[in-house]
Amino acid sequence: MSEKCVFVYSDQFETYKFNEHHPFNQKRVTMTYELLREVNALSDEQIIPPRMATDEELQLIHDKAYIEAVKKAGQGELSEEVALNYGLGTEDVPIFPNMHEASAWLVGGTLTAVDSVLSGQATHALNLGGGLHHGFRGKASGFCIYNDSSVAIKYIQEKYGLRVLYVDTDAHHGDGVQWSFYDDPDVCTFSIHETGRYLFPGTGNVNERGQGKGYGFSFNIPVDAFTEDDSWLDTYSTALREVADFFKPDIIFTQNGADSHYYDPLTHLSSTIKIYREIPKLAHEIAHKHCDGRWIAVGGGGYDIWRVVPRAWSFIWLEMMNERNINGPLPANWLSKWQLQAPVKMACEWEDKHDIYKPIPRRSEITEKNAQTVTKALLPIRNHSSKAT
C-alpha cells in the first residue's frame, strides 16, 4: 500500500552549477526524476514545485552579512579578498552567476518538503535538490553555500516546535548541521561517514558529543576506509536504532549522500548499491515507530552520477512508497538517453554485479574496528540505560 508522499522537483535545481568540470552536478536530480517517471513510480500528483527561501528564512542559520556577500558574488560585485573570507571563490565553491538565487531555491525546496509533511499534506517528503550539509553560519564549504538542512531544522523548531532526529549517511561528515545544533538538546544529530583521517572535512570523531545542554545529543560513527556492505549496514543499523530509541524524536530528517559507493571518485569506501536499498528502510521504520510517520529526506553528496546516484536516490522514493520489489534491468529508454552523455558505461540493472571490486584483504580487521567505534559512540546511551535499570 502506498503512503501519501510528495516529491519536490523543478529543473530550477540545475541552476546550482559551479562550472562544467566541478564534481557537484545537479544533473543527477534530473536523472533520478526521469528514472522514477520511466518506471511509473512517480505521478504528476506527487510532484510539487519548490519555492525560493526568503532572506529571513536563510537568517534562521546564516549571518545577514554572509547572505549579502553571496548575493554580491553572484552579481560579480565582490572582491576576491572579501569573497575568500566567506569561503567563496575557492576550488570547492567557485563563484557563479546568480548563486544566491540558485542556492535559495534548494533551501526553499527543503522548506516546501517540511511544510508538506507538517501541514498534513503528506506523511513523507523528498527533496533531492537539498542536503548541502557543509554550509556554515557565515561561510561556504565543501560545495555548499547555504545549509538547507540546518535552516529546515531551525524552521521546524520555530514554526512547529518539534524535536528533530537528523540522520546523515553521506560519506563526508555532516559538520555544518552538527555545529549548528551542537548545544541544542532538542536536535539529535547522527552522522555515519568515512573516517576523517584522510577525507574532508576531517571532523566527525566519536568524541564530538555536543556541548552544554546539547551534550549527549551528537552521535558520530566514523567507519574505516574500505568498509564494505555488511559492516556498514551492521554499524548503521545497530547505532541508529539505539539512538532513535534513546532520543524518541517527533520527526526524522535524513540526508542521503550517495558517495559511500565503491565507484565514487571522492571517497574510499567499498559499499555497493545494496546499502542504498537498506538505508531508507530503517529511516522509514523509525518514522513510524517514533514520529507518526513524519519523514523528510534530502539528497547530498554523490559524484558518480552515471552509475550510482540515480539508482541510490530512487530507492529512497520507492521505500517511501512501499515499492520494494523493483529489480532487474533499468529502463532501456532511460539508459539510451543518458548513455549518450555518460563518459563511462552506465549501470544497466538496479543491482550491482558481485565482482565490481577485488576482495578487501583487511575485511575482518575493518569490521572489528567499526564494531569498536559503535561501542564507543553509544557509550553514553548504554551507560544511561544501565543506570536506569
Query: What is the rounded average pLDDT for all residues in the chain?
Result: 97
Lowest mean pLDDT among 125-134, 262-271, 352-361: 352-361
Residue 12 neighbours by CB under 8 Å, 6+ apart: 50, 102, 105
Q: In b/e form, how buried is each residue of 47-75, taking b as 16+ CB within 10 angstroms? A: ebebbbbeeebbbbbbeeebbebbbbbbe
Mean pLDDT of 181-186: 99
| Every domain of the chain and the residues it spans | 5-388
Which position has the grid cell 517511501? 320
Phi, psi of 164 (to 5 degrees): -115, 130
> Strands 5-8 and 47-48: what pairing?
parallel
Write the pLDDT tens digit of every residue in 87-102. 999 999 999 999 999 9
Distances (CA, A) of 89 to 55, 79, 103, 156, 182: 22, 10, 15, 31, 28
Q: Which three cell numbers stand for residue 93?
A: 565553491
Alpha-carbon separation of residue 199 from 171, 254, 371 (angstroms): 9, 21, 20
The DSSP call for residue 88 is -
Query: Of 351, 352, 346, 295, whose CA–CA distance to 319 is shortest?
Result: 295
pTM for this prediction: 0.97
Give the CATH fold of the 5-388 domain. Arginase; Chain A (3.40.800)
How confident is the model over 371-375, as a mean pLDDT? 99
Q: In angstroms, how far is CA 273 from the centroid of its own chain?
A: 16
- Read off the C-alpha cell for 374: 559503535
